[in-house]
Amino acid sequence: MVKKDAVVSLNYVLKNDDGQELDKSSADQPFAYLHGNNQIVPGLENALEGLAVGDQKEVTVSPSEGYGEHVPGLQMAVDRSNFPEDMELQEGMQFSAEVGGNNRVFTITGLEADKVQVDGNHPLAGQTLHFAVEVVGVRDATQEELEHGHVHGEGGHQH
């Protein structure tokens, strides 16, 4: 059963409100994560609690339980001089920066002569997420996995 510190393997498809497919697990390997460790969005994690292998579920996740509301204030122009001089900047490039004590991933959305447009919203911020999930595996985490806080082996990290 899916519970805290279980290693859960999923097949999933993620769609937006328009029914457009945004993401899915790879066909040859399910996605594996450590349940109860904030590795997936809270709305999905909560909905999976208590499920068993073979269970399928449609889960709708609001932005606040997903990738957050879209915050216009996180879209800004910063001086090119804030970036290392030898760094070749490109649209779509991501970097992390601290904002109000939290580490946040920013994406470069535009380049001008001496300004860089960046967006600290997650690409899926503000979107209602529609997941179709199937639980294909549940096992206890190993001690090492619990210490690292992530899954090793198939579908997980290799370290």
Residues forming contacts to Zn ion in the complex (CB under 5 A) are: 148, 159
Residue with tokens 């096992």: 139
* Distance between CA atoms of residues 159 and 10, nearest Å: 21
Least CB distance from residue 11 to Zn ion, whole Å?
A: 23
Question: Looking at beta carbons only, is 88 or 159 nearer to Zn ion?
Answer: 159
Q: Which is nearer to Zn ion, 103 or 158 (CB)?
A: 158
Q: What are phi and psi of 127, to 5 degrees?
A: -100, 140
Minimum distance of Zn ion from residue 158's CB (angstroms): 8
Q: Of 48, 46, 37, 39, give the one whose Cα is nearest residue 10.
A: 48
Give CA–CA dist 129/106, Å, rounded.
Answer: 21
Please, which residue, 125 or 146, has the CB nearer to Zn ion?
Answer: 146
CB of 70 to Zn ion, least distance (A): 33
The closest residue (CB) to Zn ion is 148
